[in-house]
Structure 1
């Protein structure tokens, strides 16, 4: 046995009692039959999902200081095209939202490209993932989490809550910034700029120098947004901070509104409060498919499926002209790359006594990145209400995911919103963490002058 394998085996045996959900024998699959983050390493039966061979080691050059990335798979051609006429052949591979779009619009189609398992994460993150398999655990009925180092907390998940935690703590680098547009397209096909903002986002617990496991009140996510357009939103800003356990430390949000000229606490910026950045076409917890606390839903792990989802969507994520993307009724199909991937399916059902505009949500979480790539949202009557898609790309120069370009369709109003269009503004840049003073409520004041 290789020295590293012996050391890992000793670690697994020593920690075996730390988490009864995963046995040392199961954990030894990591790096063998499973990848280091817990995905199936082998190809699928017919080879349409290839074997994982380490991800994308490099890509087209990225200019110094730039956040723009060229498509490393630009030469690929679709291997099949799904439209209204042939969609029944692929029924078990399409989300409910995708099928609804195909049924409604004969102009909608899904161009399925060869599957590229491009994600490759930093070595230290992968090493910590192996340790987390036996030490991380959820708390407070899955709402909180502890015992994880800077890695995937639950690479061999047993519950829906564990899968959702893997999504919440997916690796996106330690800090990034981007300027972005959010566009709404109404039922008549008119596209309107909903907002332009500059966002700074950090993930403190992914610091590679961190050696301690996460505690209940540790901050795992914080973001700050400055809005500059349209005119009615110019000067607004907000700051949000999420701790690992919202029962112990609820989300803290501060907002600056130019008309009031003061920074105030904004506890309503969470859950199903309509997000003004999308002019109310999405909730705050629809952002990035899902964000925030897990306390309003029961999360059931349905299992793993092969699904056709947006993936390696460099064209739409880095395109510089919104008008080429925002077609009437639906996004321009020419702009979206779809691939067949294995995803974890999690069904979230609203808890008795809890309030939310969605009674049920079905999430599709990519096995290689642990990022949610799609979701179906249902109303109180159990009818399909909305559908979300994330145009995931891999930032090969930073060994990090980019999941900021996402969209949501509203099947009641016939409108849709696409947020995180960074192509017109220079893409996404990975940066050093901001100073502590820049994460205080006072940092918002003075930036909101029209």
Structure 2
């Protein structure tokens, strides 16, 4: 049959070249779409309903502007836990505190890993010469392009032995006794932030843009806590370099900003701007990480370093961390600090600027607690001023730092209400939807923001 068909196709190609080319140009994309749709549907998690999705792109067009809120709206139709399709990747979305307790609280070990994304991790599978003697299967080794020298953060790393060592090392530097040694750093930075706003705003008589001050606060806190070095001025070139690079890298984790993570066809583009930018950001990040680590090593050798997370991790010999793992912990503290503090403080300042009643109440409560001796809470009061503690928690709830918590990947099967979420599945926790439920009012009567 082949010997008959091939000559016929060959004759058709030469005798009707234009028609053959048109058929090929139309036929190949159609064939790809048909095969890809079969692959997409076969990957879906059985038993979980979800919104209708488009060919190739899935539900990506539906979540272009506010994914967390869209997921929350869908939960009213499909329940607290349902399934979406992002390109070729099926994703289980968890949208309530109760379902989060059941899935995450009861299956912490099974959800200890993170999915590998094409853009952020930028991995390619290379053949490894080492083979397993039992089954002779060729193993692959992951080579990271964005993070191959700097390492991924703890929060974005797939589960392995290295991640366990890094978590152990970070835990030794973040336990209660260690945190107590960092309080003086936090006190200096927060007082500097308040002073800067007071001076630049002429004690409330002049308008001031708080964002540069918030960015300096966030970066200086991250540098001080992790490396024991301050960022005293926004004019420092490193301030602009770190904030620019870390902000760009954080976008690589964006769901809708990196379509090649979910649509394999887009990965064939050899001129991908995202890949070029990822390499450039990696190179620039390596420069300041190397400088920060070297400066700390020099101070530790001279015995002039201040208590900080990186020094505590290095001195914890039981963690047995290599250079890349130490850098990963540094990145975790740097990236996490910049993202979380900046977002929370900017929205909280915006709230207070519009709500003088909350400002006045906060000052009044601080005055009661300290008998009007201090305008600010004491650095070591351990959240004993209840109104301030409640206000901060309410800001954390309403101005959710990560509306969609970093995605998880299951390393074991997970059961939810009789339905199976198989190992290897991707799960999103919609923290925004969980926080927008109906929490109980704080005991102090702090007014909810929404």
TM-score tier after normalising by the smaller chain length:
under 0.3
Report 1 or 2 for greater relative contact order, CA contacts < 8 Å, sequence distance ≥ 6. Answer: 2
**TM-score when normalising by structure 2:** 0.26
Structure 1 or 2, whichever has the larger Rg, is 2
TM-score under structure 1 length normalisation: 0.26
